[in-house]
Amino acid sequence: MVSSGVQVLGTAYSPYANRVQIALNLKSVEYEYIEQNLSSKSDLLIRSNPVNKKVPVLIHGDKCISESLVILQYIDETWTGNGYSILPCDAYDRSVARFWVAYFDDKLVPLMRDLRTAQGEEKVALIERLEEGMGLLEEAYWKCSQGEAYFGGDKIGYIDIAFGSCLGFIRAMENLNSIKLIQKAKTPGLVEWADTFMSNDAVKNVVPEPQVFLQLLKKMQATAKPASK
């Protein structure tokens, strides 16, 4: 690790903050992680991200960068000393990586959020759409990885970080709803990929265990239920 004067503002339950931590680990950048309480936002967070007042925020010297994907690209372009590239070098491959990350964030993450409180036919429909989405990611994995361990080939890349940071949340969601979105029968590539990703040194001790998210989801689900009469 090299000294860099970098701080990361995040929360224990934020996969988006985890993205930043993983990227810095891959780049061998030393950083200070500062836990935030979003119910009582700190002056540091408000000053660092006055527009959205959300985590994650990367503080690099006198620069404050917000939004996880923007931060990932900043990290990739700023720290080049160890030769590790998060985004592909080829322009077309970069566009493909950005497409699938946008697909995951814009299409699948909202479905998973809706699934937290869905019931009956709505829940069934959401699960079907999520299963279809995971099938498309399975196809993308085989095309992007070209037989290697990660979407990024032989090393963790942009898609891996964006998708992999949510694995704890996804597994908790599976447990809560007694379903399997990532399963050997339908997405064998993603099953192997997920195990490999979570065992990587840059990821260990960063992405929380599913049990942590499961407890949080149960609390949110209980809060969303109408009070009994």
State residue 4's pLDDT score.
59
Average pLDDT over residues 48-73: 97
- Identify the weakest region by mean pLDDT among 27-31, 58-62, 137-141, 223-227: 223-227
Judge residue 152's burial from the number of C-beta atoms within 10 Å of its C-beta, 0-12 exposed, 13-18 middle, 19 or more buried.
buried
pTM of the model as a whole: 0.93
Average pLDDT over residues 43-63: 97
Task: Give the residue from 56, 54, 158, 162 showing the smallest Cα distance to 106.
Answer: 162
**Residue-range domains of the chain with CATH:** 2-78 (3.40.30.10), 91-220 (1.20.1050.10)
Digit-coded pLDDT (tens) for 132-149? 999 999 999 999 999 999
For the chain, strand residue ranges (E) read: 2-10, 29-35, 57-60, 63-66
Judge residue 119's burial from the number of C-beta atoms within 10 Å of its C-beta, 0-12 exposed, 13-18 middle, 19 or more buried.
exposed
Q: What are 174's strand-pairing partners?
A: none
Kindly give the pairing relationship between strand 63-66 and strand 2-10. Answer: unpaired
Question: Does residue 225 carry a pLDDT above 90?
Answer: no
Question: Does residue 228 carry a pLDDT above 90?
Answer: no
The whole-angstrom separation of Cα 156 and Cα 110 is 24
Average pLDDT over residues 113-117: 91
State residue 3's pLDDT score.
44
Average pLDDT over residues 97-119: 96
- Identify the weakest region by mean pLDDT among 66-70, 160-164, 211-215: 211-215
Judge residue 224's burial from the number of C-beta atoms within 10 Å of its C-beta, 0-12 exposed, 13-18 middle, 19 or more buried.
exposed
State residue 224's pLDDT score.
64
Task: Give the residue from 1, 5, 10 showing the smallest Cα distance to 206.
Answer: 10
More confident position, 27 or 213: 27
Kindly give the pairing relationship between strand 2-10 and strand 29-35. Answer: parallel
**Average pLDDT in the chain:** 93
Place of tokens 């200070």: 32
In this structure, the chain runs to a length of: 229
Average pLDDT over residues 3-29: 93
